[in-house]
Amino acid sequence: MKKGIYDTVLTLAGGVAAGFVNGMLGTGGGIILVFLLGYLMKRERGYNTRDVFATVIASILPMSLVSAWLYLKNGSVGMSDALPYITPGILGGLAGAYLLDKINLTLLKKLFAALVIYAGVKMMV
C-alpha cells in the first residue's frame, strides 16, 4: 500500500486511537481499524473487505496482548477470570478465519454492520 504524508498521519493517528480504545474498553479498536483500513485500502487495486478484516485481526492481536498483560500485571483481572473464554475464543477464531474466504462478501459486510449497530444500541440501553 503506497502512502503519502496524509495516509501516514492517518495511519498513525488511527493506530493510536485503535490501541487506546481497545486498551480502555477491551473492544472497539478493531472497529476503528476496519473503517480506517477500508478507507485506505479501497484506493488500492486488489484489496477487498476480506483483506481489511484479516489485516485488522492481525493488528488487534498485539494490541490485545499488551492490554491483557497490563490488566493482569495491575491485578485488574485474574487469569482465572479469562480462562473460560480462551479455548472457545480460539475455536471461534479458527472457524471465523476459515469462513472468511468462503462467505459471501455482501453478507459479510451486513453481518459486520449488524454487529456494530447491535453493540452500539446495547451499550446505550
Each residue of 19-47: pLDDT tens digit?
999 888 888 888 999 989 888 887 676 67
The mean-pLDDT minimum among 11-20, 45-54, 69-78 falls in 45-54
pTM of this structure: 0.77
pLDDT of residue 14: 92
What's the domain count of the chain?
Answer: 1
Q: Give the span between the Cα atoms of 100 and 58, in whole angstroms.
A: 14
19: Cα within 13 Å, side-chain hemisphere: 12
For residue 1 the three cell numbers come to 500500500
* Cell numbers 491485578: residue: 75
User: Could you tell me the sign of the dihedral formed by the alpha carbons of 3, 9, 42, 26, in that order?
Assistant: positive
**pLDDT of residue 84 exceeding 90:** yes
Quote the domain boundaries for residue 99. 5-124
